[in-house]
A = this chain, B = another copy of it.
Amino acid sequence: MTATKSRARAGGRGRPSKAKGLDLKETILDAAEGLFARHGFYGVTTRQVAAEAGVDTALIHYYFGAKRELFDAVFLRRAEILNQAREASMNAYVKANAGAMTVEGVIEAFIDPLLRISQDGGQGWKSYFVLVAQVNNTPAWGGETMTRFFDPVVHQLVETLKSVRPEAAYRDLYWCYQFLTGSMMLTLSETGRIDSLSEGECHSSDLESVRQRLFAYCAAGFEAVIAKQNKTLASG
**A residues apposed to B, CB below 8 Å:** 37-43, 130, 133-134, 136-140, 142-143, 146-147, 151, 154, 170-172, 174-187, 189-194, 196-198, 201-202, 209-210, 212-214, 216-225, 228-229, 232
Contacts and interface: CB of A to CB of B under 8 A. Distances in A.
Nearest to A195: B143
Contacts of A172: 213
Given A38-B139, A154-B197, 9 more contacts: A40-B40, A130-B139, A139-B191, A171-B198, A175-B210, A175-B214, A177-B194, A216-B224, A218-B221
Contact of A224 (B142, B143, B146, B217): B217
Number of copies of this chain in the oligomer?
Answer: 2
Contacts of A220: 220-221, 223-225
16 contacts: A37-B139, A38-B139, A40-B41, A130-B139, A134-B138, A136-B193, A143-B192, A146-B193, A151-B197, A176-B213, A178-B187, A182-B185, A212-B229, A216-B224, A219-B224, A220-B225
Interface of A is mostly: helix
A183 B179 contact: yes
A120 B51 CA distance: 48
Contacts of A154: 197
Contacts of A134: 137-138
A232 B208 CA distance: 14
A225 B220 CA distance: 9
Most chain B CB atoms below 10 A, which of A38, A185, A214, A220: A220
A195 to B, nearest CB: 8
A137 B203 CA distance: 16
B147 A193 contact: yes
A178 B201 contact: no
A66 to B, nearest CB: 16
A202 B171 contact: yes
Nearest to A171: B201
